[in-house]
Structure 1
Amino acid sequence: MLTNVDGISKILIYILLFPLYFQQAFLEFSWAGGDTLVVMTLKRLFLLLPALAIILGCWVTIPAFLSVIFRQNRKEYVTSIFITWWDLGKSIFSFWGGILQFFFNLVIALLELFKVLILSIWFVIQSILFMPFRLFGGASKKVVESNIPWIAVVLTLFWVLIEATIFTYVTTPLVVDTLSNITGEQLSMAFVRIPLFAFLFFIVLGSYAVLSTFVDSFKEKNIYQIAGIFAIEVIVLLVEVVFLYREFVDALVPWFALYANDFSITMTGILAVSAFMWFGIRSLSWFLFASHGTPTIMAVIQGEGIKLAEKAKTPKKGKKTDDGFGADLSNELIESLKKDVDWVQEKGDLLLSSFILPPLQVIAAAINFCTLLVTGSHLFNTPIKKLDDIRDSSEMLKAAAEKRADLKPAAPAES
């Protein structure tokens, strides 16, 4: 009789303490203290948390089955215990799959990050390489669409610069000889050319200014002003022909004599050719660009400001206004940075989710064993697919309190 009692006692002890017979082996195998580093890392990564969850589930299952005697709806409760074990199994497989998914997402994110870095570097290089072209394009567009004749102004100044340069090299010997005779010292050409160039630059620019004033006088039909400006223009013509264009024609006489037999030209012929050159050059340059560029230059010099009619432009629908290269580049950089920030945030949330969810699957399944024992229901719905499925702690406590209230037996009705 005592032997039977001892046998039943041992069986009961085995049933109540059966996790003791395998939990140490489970923990030692999953901890893998004596294995190589790679095997130890893999076992601790894939097996340690599931082993702890299984051991906890075994220990909680023992009092859960013992409490069946005192519970209502015993069939549903026992079914819930088996379902909890089923959820634990699914959570363990989800945990393993989640780890693999995390490493897969990590590799994809690193590759995409590398691609973003390469594209960003290429964007910077492309912006630097094409910056001169874009600057030139933006400047050209503004010049073409502007109501100020910048092209005419630039061409006028450029032509004045060319004339001043040519006349500087042509008249430098004459000026050097004249100043040397006056001062009694031999002056170097390099010393004379710089002030001579500045002087001739303003002389040529002043001749265009006189011509512009002469044209304005004709537009206003002011006879006295026309006569005065005409006299000034004749003086300008004589000064430039005698001192500038004559020297230029004199420099060309040896070239004519080289290719022409019995070539000779008198002073009157030289002055006539010089006057003809002056009239031809002034006419061509005036009608091409100087007629628009000279008034603008004079307005700036006189401090009157550029008073031109504004062109009313209304941007077409669906098109953005162009604020120039700087604004375009800034907008592109800002849009690119916004896309990169959105991409980093999206990939960061994805990596965080794939990193946190796998262990949470197993932990949630293990916690469901404890809540099943205490409240008779699960706290978490497994498997957890996204972080938003994890409710706030206060909400979970409120839900648990409502479940406990539902499980209380209803009060007997008063007779």
Structure 2
Amino acid sequence: MFELIQRIPEPWRQLTDLLIAPLAWIPRMQHTLWDFFFAPGPWWLVAAKFLFLLFPALLVVAAVWCTQLSIYTLPFRSGRVQFIPTMMLTWWDAVRAVWLYWVGMFRFIGVALGWAVTFSTFVAKLVLEVIRQIVLMPFTMTGRMTETYFRPGVPWVAFVMLVFWCVLEAAIFSYTLMPTVTELLADLVGGDSTARFTGAILYFFLLLLVMGSFACVQTLMDAVRKREWKFIVQMVVVELFV
């Protein structure tokens, strides 16, 4: 704009300077604001400037342009006496809007910080509770198992004898079936070497099979006692296969 003024002939230049005097300082103000906002600095300072001052600065620039341009309309306005107080009230509203914006931003930051502190406290308590539960889990499980095992009315002698019989029966069947299983695996593999854990795996599956058969017998007895014919038929079929 100043380069354009320099091209105006000298007799008209003073008049032009006088006419654009209300607007001549606004571009310099905008350039100053631009340098202020985009000046290098710490990230928190730049963020604070953009967060708290950018929108008020834009409002001020727009208000200044509107106010200065309205000066040229004063000679042609019929209600110029009421226009000036109205413009002053508009500036007051702009200042009030900036103040409310700052108050709202501070309230927002306060709420965000409070939420962050509350959430951090919740996460810390959750982590501590998880650690406490993990540390106390063996003791809790031991206490529950002890409470269950030593509850009155449980036939512990019969239960221990049943478990011992299952272990013994599984061992006998494993010893009996081990040559057959070894020969079968040798035929499948194509050599004399068998798997290293064949005996343990065979014993484990036979133990599950024996314990499952006794569980089926107990279920069959309960079904007969309650006359539940559907479960009786199911358990008989299962026992036949077992």
TM-score (norm 1): 0.30
Which structure has greater helix proportion? 2
The answer to which structure, 1 or 2, has the higher relative contact order (CA under 8 A, 6+ apart) is: 1
TM-score (norm 2): 0.45
Larger Rg: 1
